[in-house]
């Protein structure tokens, strides 16, 4: 790559990445600065590549400002764990770390991994070291690189689970940044003879223009929302084996209010590859994006914009050049739902698997509801694993019949037996939002449970309590909770006010459409009430809520991301 | 299009939209000049002589430097306001206007009344909130301390998003506030939606066109509607002092230790407006106070005195309750009081205590008059007790502000004394009174207590400032002083407290001072953030080579804070440093310190 770069026309982050000496930045100096609990502005960008986000407690922002204290800075640490499968020992380590260095809770993310919140700067190194001791790392959990690779989560649903999770791990390892910065900074390992050249053969010294996300699903399950990924793989099973994967490119959800040129987009299926091509395909799609993505405007930098700018055909042509072969034509598949199926299932492995609903993905003890304790005790006794799903839930996986009984008893003891929860709540996702996420305009995780209760009251009036409806809320339009694919999507605009989107499909293949702008709780309920009444009275047999609102013209179907409006 | 705020009719608006659509930069610059020329020809506004009268000169070479000064302030969260402020700055410079661009965070808003021309570009967020960096400014101009701004010209560009309920609220409110402060609105405020480019451009051009030189300020159209009643005339000619304290109004009172602190420290700002009182950094503020009601009640109950019984305090007759509440010291014990008490009571045990230095020290610390009455019983009557007790003295607090920076105000930093002993909650007389009973807008009696032995060097000599807890107060005053007067000189702060997160007093101010290079270095010790206790003296020793170097190079060394522990430990650390770094024995090190004191380069304010 030519080094004569016109920095003026590029986004500031490009220069930061370039100057960071392969993701070192000034992190050692920032960590040593005793005057602030923050790291330098530039380092807040670089730290993301290490899985670390600087945040602060926004609840006390105003108060601390008046107190002449800096914001209550702390850090979010996100793990990288392709496929989300953790050993009980690793679970226990995370449980302990959350008490020792974080805010005492674990957040299960929408990308099948853990987040710790509230880690102070002075405890960052110790936390990461202790994770490393349990063979866990946070490399590339954020930043302009390939992030945590998701895969179908439930071994009980498919005998191919083990194979796809291995594939996810392979892709993750292949696309991992090669710099030793992480080991030097956090684990204090000395740099071994550095030959500067080819530190990052795939990424180069400016990495990708923007984040990059990959997920693999096994139809009919779409539990990691394959169309939301920059690169999605859909396993194709013929004659009892995975013969290959359909390749979907250009999914991506983040948008920005007030910038109509930003929009969510569902991935486009461009062909089929064999299992031994999948890593190569992943690498080459990343490479095409590396060389063609927009580096001037970060709000136009995701692969979805690259593809819409180039046109799908030209993109495929370019990809073919990089690959040196053509992808086969896509094969038939059917996806049924993007949520999780809860409860115990006996797998083809003869073992038991419990998919367990975790509201908002937050593992904590609250009064009599002692989820964190229960899971800790369960982790101590199980003979299987704990797998995180892409919907903020978890699976206690691969246990014997005897242990199954123990698990049930422990859940009961700690007051967290799977309740008879409504179809709406089961399918709810909320991002973290306030008080720690700096991007949030409104509440999400702390508020959605209450709102769901209020919508449940309406649903119950029409005997729809069991009806499964996907509802997702985020505090901002960046899309972490994938609200654009929900049947009912709520995106925060300002405290107490949300945009209401309707008409996503139950299987996650269609974007929803803006229905009402900037409305409060009362207005949300008033808007939903007549639609639910209509749905109860006039739905066709088996018709989903998201499909109904489109058939009845409550909203117009969005066929292409470009047509999406806020 | 959000051109609705403009006075154009629909037809004009649509023609304008048509005209500007697809214009390139060059064409826009030309048109800009064209409109300026037209505006000048219309004569509808005062056009500075320097503005070109023809299109070509208006858009061409910059005119000569005029005497117009312009301060452009921005408050932003997304960077848009900053971008526009910088653009306005460029435009202004191009017109020969002496413009500076500052964020509202970096701007000392107390100097607003000294400005000639001010442009404010500010956005609105969430529920009509100002951006973080504009919050203090916003509070200042919209709040009760809003300044008089006669002679200041201004205009506001408000940014916002029409999909929110409180569209451009912050900008609007600042605009209205400045007008009611007496400032002259040069051009009307313009509110911009997310497509702000055109309306902001129009606002900039109109504003710059209307700026007139400072010598001929616009007549002020409005009269200040809410002139504060507490005019300075009331105290004119009257001299305030310890014997005639000034009733200072509390302007601000805020607890500056965070939620998870186990200490309560308040930052209190008081008005000295019209008092004629003056102070310098290093001086103290004397505050007259009253005793905690609970303690007064307990003493009355224990002694069985009738609360309304009359007693003589000095020349005055009053009830015993009044005497104990407002006139006599009851929260603290002194040697003198114990002696008088013993003389009256002939208590043998107390006599023993008075000759045992160590036990005496211990007793004096943390006991009050009720303890004394309980521990050494005697059949008191009210008159006799009043004779023994000493008058309640005012409490002294190191001033944490400089008049050069805050004008007729004085700031103090008060650590609230509360502890429990013998199952009884004890409260410091003044600190708890300030914390619990005094609110903003109320008044308290104060005077200035000069402290000539704790003063900044007159020149810009190096200074090393060591303080723990509220001992940091005078250093805030030092830094304000140097900053306001533009005194260059290296400075180094050693600060210690318990916890980084909640006890880093004035943290954001130190950060700003460091950034602006008013404060050169800072070292901090937080004793409870790790297993082993770390205090300021440890930090001094860590940096001993450089500390000694500074001393050798004429640095002044200041020590402020707790007398009992910190002062001793820091003294000891300093002696160690001089011995180690100077390669001398203890006596010589002591001599070195003595010499520093003689040269007034080692100054101490401990309590």
* Percent with pLDDT over 90 in chain A: 96
Helices vs. strands in chain A: H and E counts, helices first: 17, 22
Task: Tell me the helix, strand and coil percentages in chain A, rounded to 5.
Answer: 35, 20, 45
Write out chain B residues lying below 8 Å of A517, CB-based: 163
Report chain A's terminal Cα–Cα distance, integer Å. 38
pLDDT of the residue at B48: 38
In this model, does residue A194 exceed pLDDT 60?
no
CATH number of the structural domain A425-563: 3.30.413.10
pLDDT of the residue at A164: 97
Q: Assess whether B512 and B597 both reside in one domain.
A: yes
Pairing type for strands A106-108 and A394-399 reads unpaired
Residue A4: pLDDT band with limits 50, 70, 90: confident
pLDDT of the residue at B7: 66
HSE-up (13 A, CA, CB side) for residue A440: 27
* CATH number, domain with residue B406: 2.40.30.10
User: Is the CB of residue A102 less than 8 Å from the CB of residue A94?
Assistant: no
Q: Look up tokens 């395909």; give the residue.
A: A281
Helices (H), A175-310: 181-187, 278-292, 303-310
In chain A, CATH 3.90.480.10 covers 344-414
Helix (H) or strand (E) holding A519: strand A513-519
- Chain A interface, Cβ < 8 Å to B: 34-37, 60-70, 72, 120, 122, 257-258, 441, 493-497, 517-518
Give all strands of the β-sheet with A343-346 in edge-to-edge order: A85-86, A385-388, A394-399, A352-356, A343-346
Q: Assess whether B82 and B25 both reside in one domain.
A: yes
Q: Cα torsion at A394, A399, A402, A406 (round to 10°)?
A: -30
Shortest distance between the Cα of A436 and any Cα of chain B, in A, equals 16
Residue pLDDT, tens place only, B305-340: 999 999 999 888 999 999 999 999 999 998 889 999
Q: Assess whether B150 and B47 both reside in one domain.
A: yes
**Angstrom distance (rounded) from CA B4 to CA A88:** 63
**Angstrom distance (rounded) from CA B205 to CA B35:** 9
Instruction: Give yes or no for B525 touching A (CB within 8 A).
Output: no
pLDDT of the residue at B126: 74
**Angstrom distance (rounded) from CA B52 to CA B60:** 9
In this model, does residue B46 exceed pLDDT 70?
no
Selected residue of A67, A435, A517 to mutate for chain B interface (largest B Cβ count, 10 A) = A67
Write out chain B residues lying below 8 Å of A493, CB-based: 163-164
- Residue A233 in 3-state DSSP? strand
More reliable by pLDDT, B226 or B409: B409
A480 is in an annotated binding site: yes
> In 3D, which of A495, A470, A295 has the Cα closest to residue A392?
A470
**Angstrom distance (rounded) from CA B188 to CA B5:** 10
Residue pLDDT, tens place only, A428-477: 999 999 999 999 999 999 999 999 999 999 999 999 999 999 999 999 99
Looking at the domain assignment, is residue B230 inside a domain? no
Q: Exposed, middle or buried: residue A229 (CB in 10 Å: 0-12, 13-18, 19+)?
A: buried
pLDDT of the residue at B230: 39
In this model, does residue B565 exceed pLDDT 90?
no
Q: Tell me which residue in A62, A69, A493 faces B508 most closely, judged by beta carbons.
A: A69
Residue pLDDT, tens place only, B577-589: 999 999 999 999 9
pLDDT of the residue at A325: 98
Q: Assess whether B369 and B400 both reside in one domain.
A: no
Residue A18: pLDDT band with limits 50, 70, 90: very high
**Angstrom distance (rounded) from CA A203 to CA A148:** 16
Tokens standing for residue B517 = 């290079």
Looking at the domain assignment, is residue B238 inside a domain? no
A273 is in an annotated binding site: no
pLDDT of the residue at B366: 87
In this model, does residue B52 exceed pLDDT 90?
no
- Residue B76 in 3-state DSSP? coil
Write out chain B residues lying below 8 Å of A61, CB-based: 132
Residue pLDDT, tens place only, B81-137: 988 999 999 989 888 899 999 999 889 898 899 999 999 999 998 778 898 889 889
Q: Assess whether B541 and B474 both reside in one domain.
A: yes
* Percent with pLDDT over 70 in chain A: 98
Residue pLDDT, tens place only, A525-566: 999 999 999 999 999 999 999 999 999 999 999 999 999 998
**Angstrom distance (rounded) from CA B607 to CA A362:** 50
Fold topology of A344-414: Sulfite Reductase Hemoprotein; domain 2 (3.90.480)
Residue A511: pLDDT band with limits 50, 70, 90: very high
In chain A, CATH 3.30.413.10 covers 425-563
Looking at the domain assignment, is residue B456 inside a domain? no
Q: How many domains does chain B fold into?
A: 4
Nearest chain B Cα to A438, which residue? B77
Write out chain A residues lying below 8 Å of B523, CB-based: 34
CB distance A494–B164 less than 8 Å? Answer: yes
DSSP classification of residue A71: -
> In 3D, which of B298, B302, B320, B321 has the Cα closest to residue B378?
B302
Compute the average pLDDT of residues A286-297. Answer: 98
Please enumerate, by residue number, every residue of B annotated as part of a binding site for FMN.
123-126, 159-168
Write out chain B residues lying below 8 Å of A125, CB-based: none
How far does CA A398 lie from the centroid of its chain?
Answer: 24
Helices (H), A53-160: 61-66, 88-100, 124-133
DSSP classification of residue A154: -
pLDDT of the residue at B219: 39
pLDDT of the residue at B454: 93
Tokens standing for residue B302 = 């224990």
Compute the average pLDDT of residues B541-565. Answer: 94
Selected residue of A35, A59, A518, A566 to mutate for chain B interface (largest B Cβ count, 10 A) = A35
Backbone dihedral angles phi then psi of residue A528, each to the nearest 5 degrees: -75, -35
Q: Assess whether B27 and B166 both reside in one domain.
A: yes
Report B:415-474 residues touching A (Cβ under 8 A). Answer: none
Residue B234: count other Cβ atoms within 10 Å of its Cβ.
11
Task: Specify the range with the lowest mean pLDDT, choosing from A45-59, A253-267, B51-65, B365-379.
Answer: B51-65
Nearest chain B Cα to A566, which residue? B163
Residue-wise over B506-528: b if at least 16 C-beta within 10 A, else e?
bbbebbbbbeeebbeebbbbbbe
* CATH number, domain with residue B328: 1.20.990.10
Residue A130: count other Cβ atoms within 10 Å of its Cβ.
16
pLDDT of the residue at B214: 44
Where in the sequence is the domain holding B172, given as residue range(s)?
A: 3-223
Q: Assess whether B328 and B409 both reside in one domain.
A: no
Residue pLDDT, tens place only, B218-270: 433 333 333 333 333 344 457 898 889 999 999 999 999 998 899 999 999 99
CB distance B524–A441 less than 8 Å? Answer: no
- pTM given for the model: 0.81
**Angstrom distance (rounded) from CA A240 to CA A217:** 16
Nearest chain B Cα to A37, which residue? B501
pLDDT of the residue at A1: 47
Tell me the longest C-alpha to C-alpha distance in chain A. 72
CB distance A68–B508 less than 8 Å? Answer: yes
Looking at the domain assignment, is residue B454 inside a domain? no
User: Is the CB of residue B247 less than 8 Å from the CB of residue B444?
Assistant: yes
Residue pLDDT, tens place only, A96-130: 999 999 999 999 999 999 999 999 999 999 999 99
Helix (H) or strand (E) holding A378: helix A371-381
* Percent with pLDDT over 90 in chain B: 63
Residue pLDDT, tens place only, A355-397: 999 999 999 999 999 999 999 999 999 999 999 999 999 999 9
pLDDT of the residue at B42: 57
Q: Assess whether B487 and B531 both reside in one domain.
A: yes
pLDDT of the residue at B30: 58
In this model, does residue B212 exceed pLDDT 70?
no
Residue A3: pLDDT band with limits 50, 70, 90: low
Give all strands of the β-sheet with A268-273 in edge-to-edge order: A150-151, A214-217, A231-238, A241-249, A268-273
Angle at B174 between CA B173 and CA B178, to 5 degrees: 120
pLDDT of the residue at B229: 36
More reliable by pLDDT, B3 or B507: B507
**Angstrom distance (rounded) from CA A523 to CA A526:** 5
User: Is the CB of residue B287 less than 8 Å from the CB of residue B447?
Assistant: no
Report how far apart, in Å, the C-alpha atoms of B315 and of each of A367, B103, B244, B311, B320 are.
Answer: 63, 58, 17, 10, 14
pLDDT of the residue at B50: 36
Q: Tell me which residue in B126, B505, B522 faces A35 most closely, judged by beta carbons.
A: B522
Nearest chain A Cα to B260, which residue? A72
**Angstrom distance (rounded) from CA A65 to CA B131:** 12
* CATH number, domain with residue B132: 3.40.50.360
**Angstrom distance (rounded) from CA B83 to CA A5:** 24
Q: Assess whether B423 and B514 both reside in one domain.
A: no
Residue pLDDT, tens place only, B345-393: 999 999 999 988 889 888 988 899 999 999 999 999 999 999 999 889 8
Q: Assess whether B161 and B186 both reside in one domain.
A: yes
Residue pLDDT, tens place only, B170-191: 999 999 999 999 999 988 899 9
**Angstrom distance (rounded) from CA B170 to CA B175:** 9
Instruction: Give yes or no for B241 touching A (CB within 8 A).
Output: no
How far does CA A266 lie from the centroid of its chain?
Answer: 15
Pairing type for strands B443-449 and B424-427 reads unpaired
**Angstrom distance (rounded) from CA B36 to CA B30:** 10
Shortest distance between the Cα of A519 and any Cα of chain B, in A, equals 10
* Contacting residues for B32 by C-beta, under 8 A, at least 6 apart: B59, B201, B205
**Angstrom distance (rounded) from CA A188 to CA B233:** 68
Task: Report the interhelical angle of B568-582 vs B586-598 (nearest 10°).
Answer: 110
pLDDT of the residue at B4: 37
Looking at the domain assignment, is residue B100 inside a domain? yes
DSSP string, A289-322: HHHHS-SS-GGG-SHHHHHHHH-HHHHHHHHHHH
Report chain B's terminal Cα–Cα distance, integer Å. 65
Selected residue of A68, A260, A434, A476 to mutate for chain B interface (largest B Cβ count, 10 A) = A68
**A-to-B residue pairs, Cβ atoms closer than 8 angstroms:** 70
DSSP string, A464-514: -TT----EEEESSTT-TT-GGGSSEEEEEEETTEEEEEE---TTS-S--EE
Shortest distance between the Cα of A559 and any Cα of chain B, in A, equals 25
CB distance B510–A35 less than 8 Å? Answer: yes
**Angstrom distance (rounded) from CA B182 to CA B227:** 10
Nearest chain B Cα to A494, which residue? B126
Q: What is the mean pLDDT of chain A?
A: 96
Q: Assess whether B488 and B420 both reside in one domain.
A: no
**Angstrom distance (rounded) from CA B326 to CA B444:** 13
Q: Tell me which residue in A61, A68, A120 faces B507 most closely, judged by beta carbons.
A: A68
Residue A142: count other Cβ atoms within 10 Å of its Cβ.
20
Backbone dihedral angles phi then psi of residue A473, each to the nearest 5 degrees: -130, 135
Residue A471: count other Cβ atoms within 10 Å of its Cβ.
23
Catalytic residues of A: 78, 147, 211, 213, 431, 437, 476, 480
Contacts 24+ apart (CB under 8 A), B186-190: B186/B117, B186/B153, B186/B154, B186/B155, B186/B210, B186/B211, B186/B218, B187/B155, B188/B155, B189/B155, B189/B156, B189/B157, B189/B158, B190/B5, B190/B156, B190/B157, B190/B158
Looking at the domain assignment, is residue B45 inside a domain? yes
Q: Assess whether B282 and B366 both reside in one domain.
A: no
**Angstrom distance (rounded) from CA A7 to CA B221:** 49
pLDDT of the residue at A346: 94
């Amino acid at each position: 790559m030519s080094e004569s770069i016109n920095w003026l026309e590029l986004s500031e982050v490009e220069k930061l990445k370039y100057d960071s000496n392969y993701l070192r930045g000034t992190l050692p100096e920032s960590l040593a600065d005793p005057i602030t609990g923050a790291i330098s502005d530039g380092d807040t960008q670089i730290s993301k590549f290490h899985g670390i986000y600087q945040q602060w407690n926004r609840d006390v922002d105003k108060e601390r400002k008046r107190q002449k204290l800096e914001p209550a800075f702390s850090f979010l640490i996100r793990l990288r764990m392709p496929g989300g499968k953790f050993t009980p020992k690793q679970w226990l380590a995370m449980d302990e770390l959350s008490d020792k260095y974080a805010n005492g809770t674990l957040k299960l993310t929408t990308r099948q991994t853990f987040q710790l919140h509230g880690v102070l700067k002075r405890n960052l190194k110790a936390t990461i070291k202790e994770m490393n001791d349990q063979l866990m790392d946070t490399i590339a959990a954020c930043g302009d690189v390939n992030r945590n690779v998701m895969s179908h989560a439930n071994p009980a649903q498919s005998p191919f689970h083990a194979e796809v999770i291995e594939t996810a791990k392979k892709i993750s390892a292949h696309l991992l940044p090669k710099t030793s910065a992480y080991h030097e900074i956090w684990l204090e390992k000395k740099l071994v003879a550095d030959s500067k050249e080819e530190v990052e053969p795939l990424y180069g010294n400016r990495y990708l223009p923007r984040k990059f996300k990959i997920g693999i699903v096994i139809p009919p399950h779409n539990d990691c929302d394959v169309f939301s990924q920059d690169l999605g793989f859909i396993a194709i099973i013929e004659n009892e084996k995975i013969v290959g994967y359909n390749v979907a490119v250009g999914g991506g959800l983040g948008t920005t209010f007030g910038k109509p040129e930003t929009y969510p987009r569902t991935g486009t299926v461009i062909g089929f590859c064999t299992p031994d091509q999948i890593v190569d395909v992943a690498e080459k799609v990343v490479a095409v994006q590396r060389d063609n993505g927009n580096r001037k405007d970060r709000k136009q930098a995701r692969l979805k914009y690259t593809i819409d700018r180039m046109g799908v055909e030209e993109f495929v042509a370019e990809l073919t050049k990089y690959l040196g072969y053509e992808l086969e034509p896509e094969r038939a598949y059917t996806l049924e739902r993007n949520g999780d199926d809860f409860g115990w299932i006996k797998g083809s492995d003869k073992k038991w698997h419990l998919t367990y609903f975790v509201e908002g993905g937050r593992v904590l003890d609250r009064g009599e509801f002692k989820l964190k304790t229960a899971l800790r005790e369960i982790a101590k006794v199980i003979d299987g694993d704990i797998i995180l799903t892409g919907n903020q839930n978890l699976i206690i996986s691969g246990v014997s019949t005897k242990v199954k009984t123990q698990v049930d008893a422990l859940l009961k003891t700690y007051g967290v037996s799977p309740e008879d929860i409504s179809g709406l709540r089961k399918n709810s996702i909320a991002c973290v939002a306030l008080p720690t996420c700096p991007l949030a305009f409104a509440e999400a995780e702390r508020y959605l449970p209450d709102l769901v209760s209020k919508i449940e009251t309406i649903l119950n009036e029409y005997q729809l309590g069991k009806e499964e409806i996907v509802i997702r809320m985020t505090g901002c339009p960046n899309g972490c909770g994938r609200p654009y694919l929900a049947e009912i999507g709520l995106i925060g605009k300002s405290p107490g006010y949300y945009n209401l989107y309707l008409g996503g499909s139950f299987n996650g293949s269609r974007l929803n459409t803006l229905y009402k702008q900037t409305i409060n709780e009362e207005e949300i309920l008033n808007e939903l009430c007549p639609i639910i009444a209509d749905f109860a009275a006039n739905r066709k047999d088996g018709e989903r809520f998201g499909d109904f609102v489109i058939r009845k013209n409550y909203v117009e179907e969005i066929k292409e991301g470009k047509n999406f409006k806020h | 299009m959000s051109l609705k705020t403009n006075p154009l009719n629909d037809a004009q608006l649509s023609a304008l939209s048509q005209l500007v659509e697809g214009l390139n930069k060059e064409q826009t610059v030309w048109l800009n000049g064209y409109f300026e020329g037209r505006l000048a020809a219309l004569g509808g506004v005062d056009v500075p002589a320097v503005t070109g009268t023809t299109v070509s000169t208006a858009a061409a070479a910059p005119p000569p430097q005029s005497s117009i000064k312009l301060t452009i302030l921005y408050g932003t969260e997304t960077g848009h306001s900053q971008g526009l402020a910088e653009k306005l700055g460029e435009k202004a410079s191009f017109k020969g206007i002496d413009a500076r661009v500052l964020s509202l965070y970096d701007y000392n808003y107390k100097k607003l009344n000294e400005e000639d021309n001010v442009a404010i570009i500010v956005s609105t967020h969430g529920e009509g909130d100002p951006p973080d960096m504009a919050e203090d400014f916003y509070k200042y101009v919209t709040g009760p301390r809003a300044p008089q701004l006669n002679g200041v010209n201004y205009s506001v560009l408000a940014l916002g998003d029409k999909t929110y309920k409180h569209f451009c609220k912050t900008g609007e409110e600042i605009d209205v506030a400045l007008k009611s402060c007496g400032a002259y609105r040069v051009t009307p405020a313009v509110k911009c939606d997310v497509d702000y480019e055109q309306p902001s451009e129009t606002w900039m051009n109109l504003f710059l066109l209307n700026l007139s030189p400072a010598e001929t300020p616009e007549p002020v159209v409005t009269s200040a509607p809410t002139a504060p009643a507490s005019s300075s005339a009331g105290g004119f000619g009257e001299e305030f002092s310890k014997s005639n304290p000034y009733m200072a109004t509390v302007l601000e009172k805020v607890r500056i230790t965070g939620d998870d602190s186990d200490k309560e420290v308040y930052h209190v700002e008081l008005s000295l407006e019209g008092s004629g009182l003056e102070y310098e950094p290093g001086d103290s503020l004397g505050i007259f106070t009253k005793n905690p009601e609970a303690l007064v009640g307990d003493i009355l109950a224990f002694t069985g005195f009738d609360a309304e019984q009359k007693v003589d305090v000095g020349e005055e007759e009053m009830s015993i309750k009044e005497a104990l509440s407002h006139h006599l010291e009851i929260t603290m014990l002194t040697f003198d009081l114990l002696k008088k008490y013993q003389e009256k009571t002939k208590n043998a045990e107390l006599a023993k205590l008075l000759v045992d230095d160590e036990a005496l020290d211990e007793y004096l610390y943390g006991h009050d008059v009720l303890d004394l009455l309980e521990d050494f019983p005697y059949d008191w009557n009210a008159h006799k007790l009043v004779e023994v007790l000493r008058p309640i003295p005012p409490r002294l607090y190191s001033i944490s502000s400089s008049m050069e920076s805050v004008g007729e105000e004085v700031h103090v930093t008060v650590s609230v004394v509360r502890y429990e002993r013998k199952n009884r909650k004890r409260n410091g007389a003044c600190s708890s009174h300030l914390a619990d009973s005094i609110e903003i807008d109320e008044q308290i009696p104060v005077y200035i207590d000069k402290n000539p032995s704790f003063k900044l060097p007159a020149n810009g000599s190096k200074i090393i400032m060591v303080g723990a807890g509220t001992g940091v107060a005078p250093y805030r005053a030092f830094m304000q002083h140097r900053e306001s007067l533009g005194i260059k000189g290296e400075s180094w702060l050693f600060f210690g407290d318990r916890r980084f997160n909640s006890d880093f007093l004035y943290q954001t101010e130190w950060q700003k001072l460091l950034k602006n290079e008013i404060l050169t270095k800072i070292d901090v010790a937080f004793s409870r953030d790790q297993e082993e206790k770390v205090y300021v003296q440890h930090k001094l020793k860590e940096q001993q080579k450089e500390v000694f170097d500074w001393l050798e190079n004429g640095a002044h060394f200041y020590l402020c804070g707790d007398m009992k522990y910190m002062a001793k430990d820091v003294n000891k650390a300093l002696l160690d440093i001089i011995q180690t770094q100077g390669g001398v024995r203890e006596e010589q090190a002591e001599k070195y310190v003595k010499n520093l004191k003689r040269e007034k380069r080692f100054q101490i304010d401990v309590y």
